[in-house]
Amino acid sequence: MRLAETVTFAAGGLDRAAWMRGKPDVIAGHLADATARVLPVWRGKPLFAGDGAGWLMPGHAVLREAAEAPVFLGLAQGLAHFAADISGWEPPAGEAAEPGGFFDATEQHHPALPGGYRFGELRGVMAALPRADAEMAATARAILNWHRSHRFCSSCGAPSAVSEAGWQRRCPQCAAQHFPRTDPVVIMLVTRGDFALLGRSPGWPGGMFSLLAGFVEPGETIEAAVRREVAEETGVGIGQVRYLASQPWPFPASLMIGCAAEAISGEITLDPAELDAALWLSREEIAQVFMGDHPAIRPPREGAIARFLLANWLRGSLD
């Protein structure tokens, strides 16, 4: 797909400079340089300022809240960029995050920052961020979440330690090495002529539908995962499958693999454990959804690959 890398979080121009990760003296030199930039992340929420990421200089008072050294994200426009987890900080009274739920709309403001700076849900602003900021914010959220959830060695259970500038954890007890996890997920634009298949998962907000999606299982190809997931959730048979585009999805750590899938049957047999509803919508109805004029279905979220694939299908630009 020619437009594949225009999806949100893609092609931000980040040079990950992996050769620097094993050179602590080089990393320390960058952190001592006033031109370096650090993105604080609080309990999964990056810092934002205006319409972009809230980059801070190394040594800023906010960064003293971090329990571990910043993770090296890479080089952008020749400058070193890092991310720091400050989840131990407690926000002012009245700014607590919403526990659980599909989307946390609250914002938190650190007293050491100007009023325009706030910690917020990345999904709420991802489509409006500059491309470079979006790529680095997604990377920061994913890698810091991995560190929070993988603090112990999976081989012996001992506490592990951060290494390789944040891109590895090593066990001091048994010397095991652990690397960041990314879970592959197929997301399918299932079509039958001028109709596309949409579904909604239990617990989603009212009126929210999307493309079908599911995790790729061990020993499974992308094509097999597409056919299995669609059959399990809706009973619809799938013939030809082709890859279209991918999107890093740091909620918490997936790679969305967008595919086009041609249905060879149309009858829907719903699995209620997987979906609340599934339906075929015509091209005209989906255009209505995008314009916000559909009586029952709201437009897909800006920045999500589901919207990207559906929009390109409507425009006839999937090739």
How buried is residue 258: exposed, middle or buried, by Cβ count under 10 Å (0-12/13-18/19+)? buried
CA angle 47, 50, 56 (to 5 degrees): 45
CA angle 123, 297, 245 (to 5 degrees): 50
Cβ proximity of 145 and 44 under 8 Å? yes
Secondary structure (DSSP) of 191-258: EETTEEEEEE-TTPPTT--B-EEEEPPTT--HHHHHHHHHHHHH---EEEEEEEEEEEETTTTEEEEE
Angstrom distance (rounded) from CA 215 to CA 14? 27
Strand ranges (E), the chain: 37-42, 45-49, 52-53, 71-76, 79-85, 117-119, 161-163, 168-170, 177-178, 183-192, 195-200, 212-215, 238-249, 254-263, 277-282
Strand-pair category, 37-42 with 79-85: parallel
How buried is residue 150: exposed, middle or buried, by Cβ count under 10 Å (0-12/13-18/19+)? middle
Q: Per the structure block, which two tokens stand in for 68?
A: 């571990």
User: For residue 102, what pLDDT is reported?
Assistant: 76
User: For residue 100, what pLDDT is reported?
Assistant: 75
How buried is residue 94: exposed, middle or buried, by Cβ count under 10 Å (0-12/13-18/19+)? exposed
Angstrom distance (rounded) from CA 251 to CA 50? 23
- Quickly tell me which residue has 């299995």 as its tokens: 228
pLDDT along the chain (319 residues), means of 10: 95 96 97 97 97 97 96 97 97 87 90 96 96 98 97 97 98 97 97 97 94 98 98 98 98 96 97 96 97 95 97 95
Cβ proximity of 69 and 58 under 8 Å? no
Nearest to 242, CA basis, from 280, 286, 188, 198:
188
At residue 92, the 3 state secondary structure works out as coil
User: For residue 306, what pLDDT is reported?
Assistant: 97
pTM: 0.95
- Taken in order of first residue, the domains within the chain and their CATH numbers are 4-149 (no CATH), 150-180 (no CATH), 183-315 (3.90.79.10)
Angstrom distance (rounded) from CA 39 to CA 106? 19
